Amino acid sequence: METKYKLNIFFVIFTCIIMCHCDKIKEKSATVGPTKVPGTSVQIDSSPAEGGIIAIALEGEPVTLNPVLLTDINSHTLCILIFDGLVSHDAELNYVPRLAKSWDVSDDKLSITFHLHENVKWHDGQPFTSEDVKFTFKTIMNTEILARSKADLFDLVEHVETPDPYTFKVFYKKPFAPCFESWETLVIPKHIYGFNKSSEFIDSSANFKPVGTGPFKFKEAIPGESITLERNFEYFGGKPYLEKVNFTYVKSKEEALNLALNKIVNIAPMDPTQWQLFSGSVDFGKKFSTMKIFQLAYDYIAWNMDGSNPFFNDKNVRIAMSHCLDKKQIIDRILYDLGKPLTGPFMPDSWAYNPDITPYPFDLDTAKKLLADAGWSQTNDEGTLTKQGIPFEFSILVRDDQEVRIRISELLKSNLQKIGIKMRVVPLPFKEWLNRIIETKKFEAAIGGWNMSIDPDPYNTWYSGNYKNGLNFVKFMNTRADQLMEDGRITFDQKQRQKLYWEFHNVIHEEQPYTFLFVKAFMYACDKRIHNIKSCPKGLLDQYPGIETWYIPRQLQ
């Protein structure tokens, strides 16, 4: 039996060393393959070659392979390889043509004409046409479908037209600034998904055996274990080099790296402790390149404001919660300096981020005063704060495969206990966590993360009308914020739009529907045999061209 590496022992031994001496590791932007066959002096031809199978560790199982219905990152990661949008983005986040080979925007910015590639085939051989784009749009706008992560992107669309099979025209009620963001939406085939009842679409067998136009085709899935994609030889964007890509589901980054060390997967996400331990290792570096990317994503703690609990409708309580976390301590001791604090729903280096807003400092005394002002001033026999006889006790939901978030939750629990609040940390499997947050909204607090779009439009997450069918699951309701978001969507001048978003950022900061935590580095261990992997603020896989250009030199396959 092959010997298995065990990381737990390493972590126990090295954690104390790391805590005392966390050297900065140089950021890597791309993997560089070996010039020799590993373990030999044989020179290799590193030019692109067809063939080879790779395995990627995926933190959790996808909820669906239907891009219209997805709300989770695992489903998105797979769907972007199987399907295409009219528009995509490259590694530098520039919008680039995909199913649309070009487009024309009217002078008044009220219409866009997309000119589609001809001779594009769905994976079952049927032709792709403008009718598929129209069908996708109509399906997203069907209120019975609940396309939570998509529908708001098309709120300002007046109507669409398909004058011929390779032309798609969209007409807007008002100019829409993030218009190209919306047309990155992945297109689905009408001949596969056509339905009479919404239930036929929601429960379609194609949701787990998808047919797309993308560079990789669905091959097979083993529930709870893995999914395998194979290259699309007829891909209009160029045939991928890799023969197959297997996604192996893991429950933790520890498991992922164990699989990589044992040559079961070729790419594995890393946590901060693993990064500090392995990224500077000479032996590790012989087999793996390490990549560190500050992706468009942030972590948060969400406070449910829908009235189902007696705590978080009060702004003073939410601000008090934010005073109970020491972000500097989290970044220094849990992330090992691989994170940056933030104060709102934009990336810190974005033009939309208001630099004049400072984080609420860690201050338990201020938290206690705010809680007293909110009526939480009495204590029961157990020393727990009460209001009208109700003890301040609540639960925070956290994914059970997210060790960093579990540690942050435990830290918050400890701090809250010092001021008379009982908090239970409830780890849940990913699908259950997602269902409790997005679908049933049965939670009091939750710690999670958002992957962000290129355009900073915050409408989907924060607009009051997106509580029921969108992603405003905390039920944030603010008239001024709504107006700022509406204006931001129809303002093209970036300086004017910046003013709107800076004020919106300030409203969010004052209301604290979330405790905004940080943006963090996403770290990966990548098998050095794989060439041409490029970093991107949207992640390793979410770019075009992307994985279809990865290859393994012939001698290393």
CATH class of 83-205: alpha beta
pLDDT of residue 146: 84
In the numeric block, which tokens belong to residue 240? 């991928």
390-391 and 422-428 beta bridge pairing? unpaired
Cα–Cα distance for residue pair 376/416, rounded to 1 Å = 13
User: Cα(467)–Cα(302) distance, rounded to whole angstroms?
Assistant: 14
Please tell me the distance from the alpha carbon of residue 454 to that of residue 342, in angstroms, as a whole number.
17
The β-bridge partners of 523 are 270, 292
Q: What does the pLDDT read at residue 27?
A: 39
DSSP of 300-311: EEEE--SSSSSS
Q: From residue 27, how far is each of 155, 275, 298, 367, 448 by CA, in Å?
A: 40, 11, 19, 38, 25
Q: What is the pLDDT along the chain (557 residues), one digit of tens a residue?
A: 333 333 443 333 333 433 333 333 333 344 445 566 655 667 888 999 999 999 999 999 999 999 999 999 999 999 999 999 999 999 999 999 999 999 999 999 999 999 999 999 999 999 999 999 999 999 999 999 988 888 899 999 999 999 999 999 999 999 999 999 999 999 999 999 999 899 999 999 999 999 999 999 999 999 999 999 999 999 999 999 999 999 999 999 999 999 999 999 999 999 999 999 999 999 999 999 999 999 999 999 999 999 999 999 999 999 999 999 999 999 999 999 999 999 999 999 999 999 999 999 999 999 999 999 999 999 999 999 999 999 999 999 999 999 999 999 999 999 999 999 999 999 999 999 999 999 999 999 999 999 999 999 999 999 999 998 899 999 999 999 999 999 999 999 999 999 999 999 999 999 999 999 999 999 999 999 999 999 999 999 999 999 999 999 999 99
Residues 509 and 283: their CA atoms lie apart, in Å, by 46
CATH number for the segment(s) 297-520: 3.10.105.10
Strand 95-97 and strand 87-89: pairing?
antiparallel
Q: Per this entry, what is the length of the chain? A: 557
Nearest Cα neighbor of 212 from 67, 303, 82, 335 is 82
Distance, CA of 280 to CA of 533 (rounded, Å): 20
Q: CB neighbours of 176 closer than 8 A, spacing ≥ 6?
A: 109, 156, 157, 182, 489, 490
What pairing do the DSSP bridges indicate for beta strands 288-294 and 514-527? antiparallel
List CB contacts of 439: < 8 A, sequence separation 6 or more.
none
116: DSSP letter: E
User: Would you call 557 helix, strand, or coil by DSSP?
Assistant: coil
Torsion angle of the four alpha carbons 18, 19, 20, 22, in this order, in degrees rounded to the nearest 10: 50
The answer to whether 171 touches 111, Cβ cutoff 8 Å, is yes
**Residues 316, 373: Cα–Cα separation, whole Å:** 7
First-to-final CA distance of the chain: 23
Write out the DSSP string of 248-304: EEESSHHHHHHHHHTTS-SEEEE-HHHHHHHTT-HHHHHHEEEEEEE-SEEEEEEE-
Q: Which run of H or of E encompasses 507?
A: helix 494-511
Domain 21-61+209-294+524-556: give its CATH superfamily. Periplasmic binding protein-like II (3.40.190.10)
Domain spans, the chain: 21-61+209-294+524-556, 83-205, 297-520
pTM, to two decimals: 0.90
For 416-454, the DSSP string reads HHHTT-EEEEEEE-HHHHHIIIIIS---SEEEEEEEPPS
Whole-angstrom CA distances from 331 to 96, 289, 335, 512, 525 are 35, 24, 5, 20, 21
Distance CA 169, CA 82 (A): 24
Beta strands in 377-513 (DSSP E): 378-379, 385-387, 390-391, 393-399, 422-428, 445-451
Query: Nearest to residue 165, comparing CAs of 116, 125, 129, 117?
Result: 129
Number of H helices, E strands in the chain: 17, 21
Residue 315 has, within 13 A of its CA and on its CB side, a CA count of 9
Write the Ramachandran bin of 202: left for phi over 0, alpha for psi from -120 to 50, otherwise beta.
alpha
* 233 CB burial (10 A radius; 0-12, 13-18, 19+): exposed
Taking CA atoms, 497 is separated from 175, 213, 280, 427, in Å, by 13, 36, 43, 39
Nearest to 463 by CA among 73, 180, 179, 156: 156
Q: What's the pLDDT at 272?
A: 96
CB 272 within 8 A of CB 336: yes
- Is 6 strand, coil or helix? coil
